[in-house]
């Protein structure tokens, strides 16, 4: 499976297109568009929607091609959703750790998490530090920032899932 990534502005309204899946952007919840930022959307983050609805991804595959489209400056939910959509596209089956991560991402996305002196380092604080570093090092090139943020986020998720297995 050849999976590529693209980016659009936040607020972009997408229509279902063969070969593309929009994640955390698109203003719809249907095959090819998994966005929870509109009236009537399911009460879940995009990462959870990607886990719960692999058919919305699989229905969009064109031959062996799939483009996953995120919003500019992807956040934790967009990157996690893209990670899970990539799994869906490759036919990988999610495990308990993926569901646990999606639940955590939903709490972050809905504002239910916070930093405390007792636990000042969290997966989300590590994510924010990494994304701020990427943006600071590539501030004049938005296209590069988007791709590097996504790649760095996916690498962080690979590390987190490895830790969760240990």
Using a cut of 0.95, tell me whether the model's pTM lies above it: no
Instruction: Say which residues have a Cβ less than 8 Å from residue 33's Cβ, sequence separation at least 6.
Output: 14, 15, 16, 21, 22, 26, 27, 56
Sign of CA dihedral 96, 80, 62, 16: positive
Is the pLDDT at 115 greater than 80, yes or no?
Answer: no
Name the residue with higher pLDDT: 15 or 117: 15
Is pLDDT at 152 greater than 90 in this prediction? yes
| For residues 84-93, average pLDDT | 92
Q: What is the pLDDT of residues 47-69, one digit of tens each?
A: 999 999 999 999 999 899 999 99
Mean pLDDT over 87-113 rounds to 93
């Amino acid at each position: 499976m050849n999976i590529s990534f693209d980016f659009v502005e936040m607020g972009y309204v997408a229509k279902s297109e063969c070969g593309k899946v929009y994640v955390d952007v698109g203003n719809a919840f249907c095959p090819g568009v998994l966005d929870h930022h509109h009236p009537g959307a399911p009460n879940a983050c995009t990462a959870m929607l990607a886990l719960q609805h692999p058919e919305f991804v699989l229905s969009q595959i064109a031959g062996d091609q799939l483009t996953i489209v995120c919003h500019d400056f992807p956040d934790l939910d967009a990157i996690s959703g893209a990670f899970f959509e990539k799994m869906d596209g490759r036919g990988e089956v999610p495990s308990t750790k993926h569901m646990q991560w999606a639940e955590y991402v939903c709490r972050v996305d809905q504002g239910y998490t916070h930093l405390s002196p007792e636990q000042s380092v969290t997966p989300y604080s590590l994510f924010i530090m990494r994304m701020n570093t990427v943006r600071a090092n590539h501030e004049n090139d938005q296209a590069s920032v988007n791709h590097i943020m996504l790649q760095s986020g996916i690498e962080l998720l690979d590390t987190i899932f490895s830790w969760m297995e240990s």
